[in-house]
Amino acid sequence: MSLQMRVPTVGESITEVTIAQWLKQDGDFVELDEVIAEIESDKATFELPAEGAGILRIKAEEGDTLEIGALICEIEPAEGQKGEVSSEAAPESTPTPDSGPKATGEVHEMIVPTVGESITEVTVSQWLKEDGDYVELDEVIAEIDSDKATFELPAEATGTLRIIAQEGDTLEIGALICKIEKMEGEAPAATATSPVAEAQATTAVPATGGYAEGHASPAAAKILAEKGISASEVKGTGVGGRITKEDAEKAQKATAKPAPKAAPSAAKAEPAAPAPFGGSREQKRQKMSSLRKTIAKRLVAAKNETAMLTTFNEVNMQPIMDLRKKYKEKFKEKHEVNLGFMSFFTKAVCMALEEWPAVNAQIDGNEIIYNDFADISIAVSAPKGLVVPVIRNAESMSFDQIEKEVVRLAVKARENKLTIEEMTGGTFTITNGGIFGSMLSTPIINAPQSAILGMHNIVQRAVVENGEIVIRPMMYVALSYDHRIIDGRESVSFLVRVKELLEDPTRLLLGV
């Protein structure tokens, strides 16, 4: 009696799949658990293993879209061929050591965990283990990205890893991300081949090449097509020689070998066509990360949903630079941290916010929330995008405490180790485009906050003091604000107050 294979359940919200590629042909003999096809959903690509040994009878062709549970193929029993293959494979199979891990038959399904109250989906950033690898309980097997931070994914059981979601896939909270075939016993030696991989090597993959050799997975085929590279030019490193996504990303188009010089002839050769102007015209297409997509949505929302205006002023940085030059060595010796500009700006902003509380407020529906504290968000350029960690209660912190907190948060941001709590709840933002050379800009409000202060580069310029032209290190500062809650008088007065405190830093110490 034939074994009917139906489309398996591949995810909680997935109702249909498409047959991307058959790795075996109709009438071929297949072994139990041998991968016979690749199926695609709207979120990921999955391998379809044979549910029994026998002759494959294909019922759905490549490109067909099938619902979950629909008939995809049948496997007819072929005892003679099955026994023949088994007897040939038996002498080559390596006995499993008694001391190694043993399969229990249980499969643990891992789903995307809840990583934050407002986070509804994550992206698989990187698999630290490969499909089929032996993993131990609590071992980190992957990194997942949300729109706010990067998290490590630990294994929830000991056994063989079966990856369901590929790198770059975006999954909802609670969606299936991988499976672990539970195993008991001591971990295998680092140099030893896992029992599962060993069985696949002896039964499913011939020594001279695999059933999928030279075939590209759907994701790899798409990348190769974009690069204009044929699958025959790429060597696959996947199971059975299959070309994986990583193989396709590493593949380079072969350059034509120079033709041998022709023998001299009496006839004059025609002039060669000129080389195309401009050199290479290759393009690279890369999927947006969850963080980058969220940044884009929030910035567009801030522009569309707020009455944003920007007011400017300039600050003479000479007094602060003189103060830093005089005390920076003693400051570092005592507090073990450098005295930077950020502590001066943070203290000045906190004092100005006390005098102009609307700049420190935010709109919530038909109400305005006024804060009697200053949680200052500091914009930091991290490898994966702009993040804004928060300095809590900055109004009550000293210069050294602010500098230490800025360094701590900046280091964690660049290492992608910031937590959700460290990036939420700010009441006012400071961004410093001057470190990249920006002379002047109009920063965008970090919603739901109502204002943001932009710092810029320091330039030696000619200014007039007491009727004389002198050279001073000047910085333009910009305050973008939501005109729905902050009037022009408040915004301009706030920025002037910040300017006064920075140009006479003793005011910061005396509170005047």
Residues marked active site are found at: 483, 487
Beta pairing, strands 150-154 & 140-145: antiparallel
Distance CA 44, CA 147 (A): 20
Beta pairing, strands 54-58 & 150-154: unpaired
First to last CA, the chain: 92
Distance CA 159, CA 179 (A): 10
Distance CA 454, CA 388 (A): 13
Give me 445's structure tokens: 């409000």
Distance of alpha carbon 53 from its chain centroid, rounded? Answer: 41
Is the separation of the CB atoms in 104 and 183 below 8 Å?
yes
For residue 448, is the peptide bond before it cis, meaning its omega torsion is within 30 degrees of 0?
Answer: yes
Enumerate the β-bridge partners of residue 309: 481
What is the 3 state secondary structure string of 332-398?
HHHHCCCCCHHHHHHHHHHHHHHHCHHHHCEEECCEEECCCCCCEEECEEECCEEECCEECCHHHCC
Give the closest residue to 479 by CA, choosing from 438, 443, 428, 440.
443
Give me 397's structure tokens: 């912190």
Main-chain dihedrals φ then ψ at residue 304, nearest 5 degrees:
-85, -25
Q: Is the dihedral of CA 245, 249, 250, 254 positive or negative?
A: positive
